[in-house]
Structure 1
C-alpha cells in the first residue's frame, strides 16, 4: 500500500489508517528537524500557537511537531475522512516543547477548497505526504489559501527510489510507478513526483521564501514488515500502470521477496520537506 485514494472527501478503507500508523515511525525518522527548529524560533512569543494541519490523517504530524514547538498550541486537523479524524482526535499530540498543553479540533471537508478566510487564525500551516495527490490547480489554491503564513509540508515523494541490491528491472518499475502517480483520476491530473517543484513555485509566487530539504525513508532488514508492504504497493501500482509488465514482475517480486526474507533487501525512498516563510508578517 502506498497512498490514500485520490478522492479527498470520501471515506477510506480502515486498512489505510492502519498503514498510516505503521509508517509513522519511518515518517518521524525522515522529517527534517532543522526546519522545525526554524519554525520554533519564529513562533516563540506567539501564544497560543494555532496550527492547521491539512490532510491530517491519523494525526502523525502533530505528534511529531508539537513537542518541537512552543506552546500552548491548538491544532485544527483537516481531512476528508471521518474515521481518520476520529483516530487523530483519540491520539492527540503530547505537550508542547515547554510543557504547556496541546488541544485539538477536527474539521472534515475538501482541503483543496479551503480559503484564506478559513485559515486566517493560523500561525502555521502543515501537511505531510499529501502533495502528490493534488493537481496543479489544487496546489495553486492551497498556496493561495496559505499566503502570508508559514507552511511546513513534509514527506512529498519526488520519484527517486533506490533498492539494494540493484536489479535490472528496478528502473522500469520505478518509471511505471511514477507514471501511475501522474495518472488522471475522475478528470483530475495528479502531479505525483512533480508536485514539490510546483508547490515551491506556487509559494514563491505568493512572496514566500522557500527552503527544500531531502527527507528520505531508509528501510532495511529491521523494517522488514513496512518494507514489504511498501514494496507490494509499489509493484502493484507499476503493474496497474503498465499491464505488459505483469509477466516480468512475477519473477521480480519473487526475487525481491526472497531477498527481504533473507535480510538482504534495503530501500531508499526519497522525499522532500518544504518550508515556506512569508517575507512579510501579516
Structure 2
C-alpha cells in the first residue's frame, strides 16, 4: 500500500490556520517542550502540509531546531514558507522535507529525533497506519504531540432539525472505506491513545475545539459546504433537503448569526 500522508489543499490550510492556532493546546505544547532535551534538537512533523504546526510550535520550543517535514504531496510542500520561523530564543530553524507515504513508513523512521508532531492527521489514518506511527515513536522513544483530530461532535447555532442526520452521515463518511483504506475518523484519538497506553506510555488528552463565528465567515462557509457535501456523499438521500439546509445556513452566515463549534482533541504521549 502506498498512501499519501497529505489530504488537504493549500488554500484550505491557509483559511483554517487562524482557527487552528487559536484551538491548539498551549498546555500540551509546554509539556512537550519540557520533555525535549537541551538543544540542538531534531523534530519530525508528519503530514506537514504547508508547515502550520512548525510555525505555531517552533517559537514555543528551545533550540537550535532542525525540522524534518514529512508529506505525501509534493505540490503542497511547494507552499511551505518557514523563513521567518524562529525558536524561543529567536534563532531561525532549519528545515528539510521528505516526500513519503505512510504505507512505506518503517519503525525506524524517527530514530535520532527528539520529538514527533502531527496536526489534523490522525482522523485520516487507517488503524494499520496509526500502528506504524506509534511503533516508530516507541522505537525512537520520543514524545509525540498530535494535534487537532476531529472527535465527531459539531454544535451549530442556531440549531436546525437537519443537524443531527448530517452530523451522523459526516462521521460515517470520515470512517468510510476509501480505495481499500478504512479511516479512523472520529475514533482516531481514542485508538492512538490506547496504542500508546498499551505500550506503557503516558498519555494526556486535551479538548481543542474550533469556535467559529462571524469573524471566520470565509472559513465557515468553506467548512459548511464541505461538511454537508461529505454527508450527502455518504447518504445520498440527504441530498433532497440539503440544498434548502444550505440556503438557511448561508443566510445565517451572511447575517452574522451562524456560530459553529467543531470539537477536536490534542494528544501528548511520552515514554515512562
TM range (shorter): over 0.9
Q: 1:160 to 1:11 in 2, by over 3 A?
A: closer
- Checking the alignment, whether the CA contact within 8 Å between 2:84 and 2:92 is kept in structure 1 is no
Mapped partners of 2:78, 2:201: distance in 1: 33
Decide which of 142, 145, 156 is 2:133's aligned counterpart: 142
Decide which of 145, 152, 159 is 1:166's aligned counterpart: 159
Partner of 1:4: none
Decide which of 19, 22, 27 is 1:29's aligned counterpart: 22
1:71 aligns with 2:66: no
Number of equivalences:
269
1:56 aligns with 2:56: no
Decide which of 96, 103, 106 is 1:105's aligned counterpart: 96
Decide which of 63, 76, 79 is 1:84's aligned counterpart: 76
The CA deviation at 1:118 is: 2.4
Partner of 2:219: 226
Partner of 2:182: 189
Unaligned runs of 5+ in 2: none
Partner of 1:3: none
Mapped partners of 1:158, 1:197: distance in 2: 9
TM-score by length of 2: 0.95
Q: 1:221 to 1:164 in 2, by over 3 A?
A: same
Deviations 1:242-278 (A, max 9, x none): 1101111111111101100010000000000000011
Q: 1:10 to 1:267 in 2, by over 3 A?
A: closer
Decide which of 153, 157, 160 is 2:150's aligned counterpart: 157
Q: 1:8 to 1:20 in 2, by over 3 A?
A: farther
Deviations 1:132-172 (A, max 9, x none): 11111111111001112100000000100000100011011
Partner of 2:248: 255
Decide which of 111, 121, 127 is 1:130's aligned counterpart: 121
1:114 aligns with 2:105: yes
What is the alpha-carbon root mean square deviation over aligned residues?
1.6
- Deviation beyond 6 Å, 4+ runs, structure 1: none
1:177 aligns with 2:136: no
The CA deviation at 1:10 is: 8.6
Unaligned runs of 5+ in 1: 1-6
- Checking the alignment, whether the CA contact within 8 Å between 1:217 and 1:269 is kept in structure 2 is yes
TM-score by length of 1: 0.92
Mapped partners of 1:176, 1:216: distance in 2: 20
Mapped partners of 2:187, 2:54: distance in 1: 26
Superposition pairs for residues 235-274 of structure 1, below 5 Å?
235-274=228-267
Mapped partners of 1:187, 1:267: distance in 2: 32
SS class of match (1:87): coil
Deviations 1:28-78 (A, max 9, x none): 110000111112222252x21110000000000000000000010000000
Partner of 2:196: 203
Mapped partners of 1:224, 1:129: distance in 2: 21
- Checking the alignment, whether the CA contact within 8 Å between 1:62 and 1:93 is kept in structure 2 is no
Mapped partners of 1:206, 1:87: distance in 2: 37
1:96 aligns with 2:91: no
Deviations 1:115-139 (A, max 9, x none): 2322101100000001111111111
Mapped partners of 1:31, 1:106: distance in 2: 23
